[in-house]
Structure 1
């Protein structure tokens, strides 16, 4: 006889142990992979890694240095060649314009030149500058236009070689300038200066960029970034890329900021012999580590230049992956292992993934989306499935009686600590429907429950919107509080805002009720702050997270006192002087006219008198907000 088991039954199924299944499979997988692959790959990997990185360091930095020198040496070569033509000629003011043909010819022949100028010892100048459109414009004497001021004359002697001055920014373009002295018989007569744009170096940096994990850069004068291949990654809030030059700190490139203090790696002998320094730019803020390759270049200005690039360190290892192509046995074992791993992991992960997906719904208390898990032939999975199904059934039952907002707070704060009974300063509201007994006389039991459910849904929504906790429903009334289980200093403000939200919702519901010909509802609300005991209260297996204390009674008495203050009004919100004092201290939104003192009264069942305030229920919740320092309540 074949015994049939219900799909979700509690019968025990015989199955394969997942521990044995996964253990044997992964043990064999790791053993085969390690024996066949590690012996072949590790030795070759260790031997070739530094060789590859040495070659890469030398090739990339030398290519960048060559491009930089080629560009700048065009300018220095031009002024050195023209020096022999100009220095034996007169440089007085009237003779300067005679240099025009040679200057124009030199600038036409050398597109890299943006300015070429002759300056005599008295400071008179004659030269040509290239405009943004490419047109050449002459200038002379002291009438040098702003657009042509792309150079600074260095201090040089008659016998000085071609000397590079400091970088000059004109408009949004950065220029390098080089000057040679013009002398006769050892006597300095003037200067010949050429300026070239550095924009070409920026384009060169972008051309040499290997991809998203590499950055090419040029730094002048030790700390001035003049070219950066990934400058768009540092765009300002308006979306525009920053304009170079910028200091390393101004740019905010964390890799370059670590460049000056990072240690030089000693394993790159060939790179070091070629003048290339390789550094490990370790991150100290949890970001990626980088490997930099730099070279120092002197002779192009007052300070030295640094050219190089850096890579995300994890990407460098990809260059040695080609070594595995020769390890045929290792490659085959890896492919086999990969196939087995995929099949096994997919098989094992599918049910676990399904448990995880449904557990997320449980964590969100969204039990309506949690379907029962089916039976499994794997013994451990079957036990977990059945335990999960039983847990969901129990949580559904419990959640029927425990507010979801309270349940989430206790789970977030930790039930063991948050639910321990303790004395706390809280704010409470107590609500009641005026004359509900007579109102329900003409309703069926089902309609009465429907009206109450709709009413309580509005109340609960207002309380939870302000982060409050619904304690219980008492007939047609509700008790809610703020300040527990999670502490908050503005609990009095939150309670007041909830009262006003309830009032606004009541007016809207009553307008709809009158339009439909139904009887409107009138309400009373008490608002009070004070110290009570809050936490788990009960015995044995019957516990309730609630508040206990005289302050709760005061709140209920305030609600009842509403019938004496305004028995016919649609909404009456009465607050104690204690609650108002807290609101005065924390908020400036509740000003004069929004709350009225109705006197000092002895409430039912109490020996002492308290000051009672009536809150204007037409005030919107947004008018009561915490402000720094607080504003005293007028009146």
Structure 2
């Protein structure tokens, strides 16, 4: 045994050592590292428990804010829906006389009194009339009515008490307000459903708020009017002031434009220049950890919860969208510094961790070095094996290791890869990858499938083969087939076989392709363009051109494995294959280059159908009767558009 071991050692390249020795050294290093793992286990376990509790607290806080916001918005939603149903009987139109809307005014006043957070309720119709009940700063309810008068419109204000219409003061003047020009009207009209405006300042109170609106349809399903409700946002901001998460955490609300809707400090929602109000974007805040939180939120495509770092601190973030039934694009954001929750644990564990780290520092360096020497080449080799699993045989294998067993594995793997690379020249690699990905077993058998078949042939090849040296002809055909095969593969097709100067390809197997007919037609057009380019080069070099004809047919055929026990061919069988070949030959009679059948046309998109040229009905050998055929307009002179 010693002599055999010695002979093996002598055969190793210089500088290599036994994998066993490396494994022993790595095991010793792992024992040392285990001490470190035991030392920090308590800290990590306690920290995880606290973080889980804090995440749960942040999530519950977000749920609470969502529920409160939903509760806050619900009266406005219910009010607009109630008025929409109530107003639908009027065909969605207002009248120019206020007294005809006494009942409607009563309902609007009742809804406003029942919902203190509603600032206004109003209706605007498609002729520019406008009826509004507004809550004044002193709490009284006023009525604003815009009606048609002659060739124009007038605006009248009522300040009633008790009943809907009694007037204690009225003022009237020409109306310059048109509800049809307002975002709340246009948004509901455009969406034909509930619409929420962006944040803006109410003209009456100079406080921020939003409007929810909904359209009223007449009997012809046309929008007769739009009902709106204004909601002041300051109550939501006041509620957010009461939300506490740890010592420094808080919650706020943003819309899909990442603009602030509600914030614990309501003054942040109102810019200093009141005459040019613009919603405040989160990026405008000077909070050092709020802006990065929303930036990470946008990069994570609305992931609901995560951690991120800003400065030297980690933060917990929770996002919750409002329920879909609100129709709002608002999102609740809850932020809390992680340190607020784990600072106590860090203080208690710091001393023990420092001591453990000092003791194990030297052993860790050795262990990491050995682990790196073992794991890197093995991981690299595993990645290369995964590439081979996907039949990726083109990338070079460069794996260096001082461990002899790994060196031998790499050598064997490289030899195997070279062998597979040589073998891949005889099989369609793209097809093998698809078969492997779909876990199709290599055994005889097939299944019916609707597929698009493409058949090509070179015009006058028989005569050409008698005049050109066979070796030269084989090289020319190889270049020709390489061009066509690459184009077919790029358009999701599979090259079935080469038959002399012909080629058979198919689409929709083994991977499904909903646009298989379109892809086959596009591939045919690009093949002809490529052949034209190739022939231009050949003609310039004094060589014969390879004029190509293509036939395309879509039919139900059987696709699968056929062959003996030692060799299989993944192919298609059926009358559709012969028909594709007959279509290719019919190009000669019709003086075309690409012919497709009516069956293929039925599977094409409307855009592709528009490019076809109807060549009429022709009789094909093997077909039950005459079939209608088409050529692609990009390749032929148009005869009649389909």
User: Could you say which TM-score interval applies, normalised by the shorter chain?
Assistant: 0.5 to 0.7
In 2 relative to 1, CA 547–376 (structure 1 residues): closer, same or farther, beyond 3 Å? farther
1:331 aligns with 2:322: no
Matched residue of 1:367: which SS? Answer: coil
The offset of 1:430, in angstroms, is: 0.8
Matched residue of 2:546: which SS? Answer: coil
Match of 2:173 in 1: none
Q: Structure 1: how far apart are the matches of 2:593 and 2:265?
A: 68
Deviations, residues 481-537 of structure 1 (Å, cap 9, x unaligned): 011001223322222222222222223333343444433221221211212221111
In 2 relative to 1, CA 36–553 (structure 1 residues): closer, same or farther, beyond 3 Å? closer
Match of 2:36 in 1: 33
Match of 1:616 in 2: 632
**Residues 55-74 of structure 1: matches in 2 within 5 Å?**
none
Structure 2 portions without partners, runs of 5+: 1-5, 59-137, 139-198, 210-233, 254-259, 270-277, 286-290, 295-301, 308-314, 319-332
The offset of 1:168, in angstroms, is: 9.9
1:539 aligns with 2:557: no
Deviations, residues 444-467 of structure 1 (Å, cap 9, x unaligned): 444323321221122112211221
The offset of 1:23, in angstroms, is: 4.4
Q: Structure 1: how far apart are the matches of 2:540 and 2:279?
A: 54
The offset of 1:36, in angstroms, is: 5.4
1:579 to 600, 607, 611: 600
In 2 relative to 1, CA 6–451 (structure 1 residues): closer, same or farther, beyond 3 Å? farther
Two-structure CA RMSD over aligned residues (Å): 5.5
Match of 2:176 in 1: none
Q: Structure 2: how far apart are the matches of 1:449 and 1:498?
A: 24
The offset of 1:439, in angstroms, is: 2.8
Q: Structure 2: how far apart are the matches of 1:455 and 1:602?
A: 28
Match of 1:299 in 2: none
2:551 to 512, 526, 539: 526
Match of 1:449 in 2: 474
- TM-score, normalising length from structure 1? 0.53
In 2 relative to 1, CA 595–291 (structure 1 residues): closer, same or farther, beyond 3 Å? same
Q: Contact between 1:558 and 1:575, CA under 8 Å: does it hold in 2?
A: yes
Match of 2:79 in 1: none
1:342 to 353, 368, 371: 368
Deviations, residues 125-157 of structure 1 (Å, cap 9, x unaligned): xxxxxxxxxxxxxxxxxxxxxxxxxxxxxxxxx
Q: Structure 2: how far apart are the matches of 1:170 and 1:530?
A: 66
Matched residue of 1:416: which SS? Answer: coil
The offset of 1:616, in angstroms, is: 3.3
Q: Contact between 1:430 and 1:559, CA under 8 Å: does it hold in 2?
A: yes
The offset of 1:322, in angstroms, is: 4.5
Deviations, residues 323-368 of structure 1 (Å, cap 9, x unaligned): 4443353232343453244223212222123314534653564433
1:241 aligns with 2:241: no
Q: Structure 1: how far apart are the matches of 2:528 and 2:553?
A: 17
The offset of 1:607, in angstroms, is: 6.8
Q: Contact between 2:582 and 2:620, CA under 8 Å: does it hold in 1?
A: no
Structure 1 portions without partners, runs of 5+: 58-118, 120-166, 177-197, 233-237, 246-250, 255-283, 294-307, 624-632
2:510 to 469, 473, 485: 485
In 2 relative to 1, CA 555–529 (structure 1 residues): closer, same or farther, beyond 3 Å? same
Match of 1:298 in 2: none
Q: Structure 2: how far apart are the matches of 1:375 and 1:218?
A: 55
Point out the structure with max Rg over C-alpha: 1
Q: Structure 2: how far apart are the matches of 1:543 and 1:414?
A: 16
1:549 aligns with 2:574: yes
Match of 2:177 in 1: none
Q: Contact between 2:595 and 2:632, CA under 8 Å: does it hold in 1?
A: no
Q: Structure 1: how far apart are the matches of 2:387 and 2:467?
A: 42
In 2 relative to 1, CA 393–419 (structure 1 residues): closer, same or farther, beyond 3 Å? farther
1:439 aligns with 2:459: no
Deviations, residues 558-603 of structure 1 (Å, cap 9, x unaligned): 223333x14xx5x5222233223333xx43432376232243x141
The offset of 1:426, in angstroms, is: 1.0
**Residues 130-149 of structure 1: matches in 2 within 5 Å?**
none
In 2 relative to 1, CA 454–15 (structure 1 residues): closer, same or farther, beyond 3 Å? same
Matched residue of 2:528: which SS? Answer: helix
Q: Contact between 1:16 and 1:378, CA under 8 Å: does it hold in 2?
A: no
Q: Contact between 1:528 and 1:576, CA under 8 Å: does it hold in 2?
A: yes
